[in-house]
Structure 1
């Protein structure tokens, strides 16, 4: 069984490889981003299963999953994520993914899930899919932002300065400025007022 692990976090890749090295009959390859994963799949030989990190560079979410599934070769594709919620998992499964693996899975559960998917089955942990989490009902705009960016955006909607937000969150002011710049780009805002309006119109706060 050949498995490709595509994730931008080296520690996670190395950990997963160690998991599978202890299993008989599993051969692994790794990629640090989406394009590298595409290159390995196109180069062959075929992988039985491709594990894609939902938020790695070049992935573009469900679109990246779909593109990978459409590449030539007899390979199945599953999502692995530490941040995606139940809605994302459901979208992935509906798109035809082999499964969805939260990064909170134990080593044994992960190995069992991989074997299950490689046999042609579709996998998603029941406790994750059934969880009544507020996360699953978040506004699509909120999905674009990290938890810290959400906190900074809330401060902007309250008319607070970067200095005040930094004090409230116990972080440095330059860090707040960086978060502000990043969240502007993510939500399509050009200034503080526009960012606050977008957040309020979306009902985030």
Structure 2
């Protein structure tokens, strides 16, 4: 597919991923790997990231790669209650109420300027809070933080986040 359509963005969707398959897929030009058990919001955000040119991996694969488990070529990664329990919980991250409020705004895709106006604080203060949030939850960018929050922040009516 990539040979014929070099600009095409490719996402693999499966119940589980074997690290060797992920490596082969990446080498073949796959831009994202999504798990079928992902929440709809996570899947949508993942696809949006891929369309923006980012590479997407399930957090379990990323943790395995960064923790040295990548040397085990046959390790399969399943999404189940055990794997989900290893993801950092909202309470474990010790986010302040203000950080939770800002994280809720990030899940809506609001830029710093809009968040600052909404909360009546400076844009520089928002930047400080966003950096602290990223550090506390282990995300590398705002989109990852929004995806993380969409799975962990309490929900109320519809898809509105209760921060």
If asked which structure has higher relative contact order (CA below 8 Å, sep 6+), I would say 2
TM-score, length-normalised on structure 2? 0.39
- For the pair shown, the structure with the greater C-alpha radius of gyration is 1
